[in-house]
Amino acid sequence: MTASGPNRRKAVVVGAGPVGCLAAMSLAKMGWSVDIYEGRPDMRLPSSKAAAQQRSINLAISARGLAAIQAIDPGAADRFLSTVIPMHGRMIHDAQGRLQSQPYDRDGQCINSIGRAFLNEDLLKEALAVPDIRAFFQHKVASIDFDRRIMKVQDVEAAQDVDVPFDFCVGADGSYSIVRRQLMRVVRMDYQQWYIPHDYLELKMPAGPPQEPGGDPSFLLDPNHLHIWPRHTFMLIALPNKDRTFTCTLFAPTADFDRLDSDAAIVRWFSEHFPDALPLIGEQALLEDFHRNPRSALMSIKARPYHYKDRAVLLGDAAHAMVPFYGQGLNCGLEDVRVLDVLLREARVDATSQVPECEEDGRLASALARYSETRHEDLVAICDLAMDN
Ligand SMILES: Cc1cc2nc3c(=O)[nH]c(=O)nc-3n(C[C@H](O)[C@H](O)[C@H](O)COP(=O)(O)OP(=O)(O)OC[C@H]3O[C@@H](n4cnc5c(N)ncnc54)[C@H](O)[C@@H]3O)c2cc1C
């Protein structure tokens, strides 16, 4: 239920990624008036969708992430489930092209494949359907004065800076978080960031021909598996999409990528290591993706604490970016929102009556302190599991 009234306090959420959208929904449902500030253009615009296609990673959403969406908005969780493809196990492709299915669970539990752009757009639409959530796109947060509770934001379109007052700031602005960097000025934050020697690159596997004349396109691989081509220091994975294509991600050491410096070298390397994937992706499409799509770095971030007084908290990748080999980065970010939601409710934080400017909201401050204390061990554990996997 959304509270109304003139005294509601203002929460600003920095970042309209999946975690920011779910955090906005959680806070609005507790009575906060919520404004989301997003540096990029509105992802619902056709021009944004075209740009997103070049970095269209697929995500595996597990019970952890689903439970978080369910806790904040059960209806949104049901709608979300209708947009995913369940993957009941891994399909291992060996170097000779032989397949081995490894079910995740004897009782049919699964993880769910969805394109990041689809998931993000769906969550944004869910958030903006909640009364009292507004989103400002192309509004890039530049600096934050937490003690004065004022954020400086660059309005990119109008080419001007605006001062935004707030009561509570949620930093959901991803691995390169400005909120985290600004918090470091006022908090004694322990912080660790390191890159692994691997890059990743997205490739597309097209849909196959219809099974019967006039029918729908077909999947070229079993759609209910997460396909993996493990090759010691590098690997290829493929996750299914609703349009019957697969999004493939190649992870390899930077030095290996650098050696693939001609079309012939790329095709030769693929036919040597991924002999069954190459004909499905197609040589021409492989080369186009290789040349067009960006190669991106992978890093891991640990920080502590995640909060400052009653003013701010970091959630999602802003607090704990992790390498993707455990498929839990976003799942953990969504879980952050659920855990914080529980703590704010338990502390009976009141978003509907103003706290005098010179005073601190003791309930909010202690809920945030509990969040930092209780959440850290789990997040470090999962960052380490991801690194070791
Ligand atoms: C190859 C790969 C595969 C992955 N696979 C999985 C998987 O299978 N399962 C899983 O759970 N996770 C996976 N992850 C991790 C997942 O993608 C991230 O954990 C997730 O996207 C983080 O969400 P977020 O909302 O915290 O941050 P982001 O998605 O990074 O969103 C942050 C938002 O903040 C905005 N922003 C940044 N700076 C500012 C600013 N100054 N002002 C305003 N806005 C700003 C950005 O534009 C962005 O929209 C994978 C990651 C990679 C790289």
Ligand 1 atom having least distance to the Cα of 37: 43
CA distance 198 to 233: 9
Ligand 1 atom having least distance to the Cα of 153: 42
92 pLDDT higher than 70: yes
Strands, E assignment, the chain: 10-14, 33-37, 58-61, 85-87, 89-93, 99-103, 111-115, 133-136, 139-145, 150-155, 160-165, 168-171, 190-205, 225-231, 234-240, 246-253, 296-304, 307-308, 312-314
Phi and psi based region of residue 5 (left: phi greater than 0; alpha: psi -120 to 50; beta: remaining): left
54 pLDDT higher than 70: no
C-alpha 19 to ligand 1 mean position (Å): 8
**Sorting pLDDT into bands at 50, 70 and 90, what band is 354?**
confident
**Sorting pLDDT into bands at 50, 70 and 90, what band is 1?**
very low
- Span 148-156, mean pLDDT? 97
What residue ranges line ligand 1, CB within 6 angstroms?
14-20, 37-40, 57, 59-60, 116, 140-141, 172-174, 178, 200, 249, 316-317, 324, 327-331, 333
- Span 199-217, mean pLDDT? 94
Tokens 């929460």 label which residue? Answer: 11
50 pLDDT higher than 80: no
pLDDT over 70 for what percent of the chain?
A: 97
For a ligand 1 pocket test, name from 56, 176, 317 the mutation site with the most ligand atoms within 8 angstroms of its C-beta.
317
**Sorting pLDDT into bands at 50, 70 and 90, what band is 179?**
very high
Ligand 1 atom having least distance to the Cα of 120: 29
C-alpha 321 to ligand 1 mean position (Å): 8
- Residue 358 confidence (pLDDT): 79
CA distance 61 to 70: 13
Ligand 1 atom having least distance to the Cα of 331: 11
C-alpha 57 to ligand 1 mean position (Å): 11
Distance of CA 158 to the CA centre of its chain: 28
Q: Which residue has the higher pLDDT, 2 or 85?
A: 85
pLDDT digits (tens, 9 = 90+) for 366-379: 999 999 999 999 99
- Span 286-308, mean pLDDT? 96
ipTM of the modeled complex: 0.99
**Sorting pLDDT into bands at 50, 70 and 90, what band is 57?**
confident
Yes or no: say if 45 and 312 are a contact pair by the CB < 8 Å rule.
Answer: no
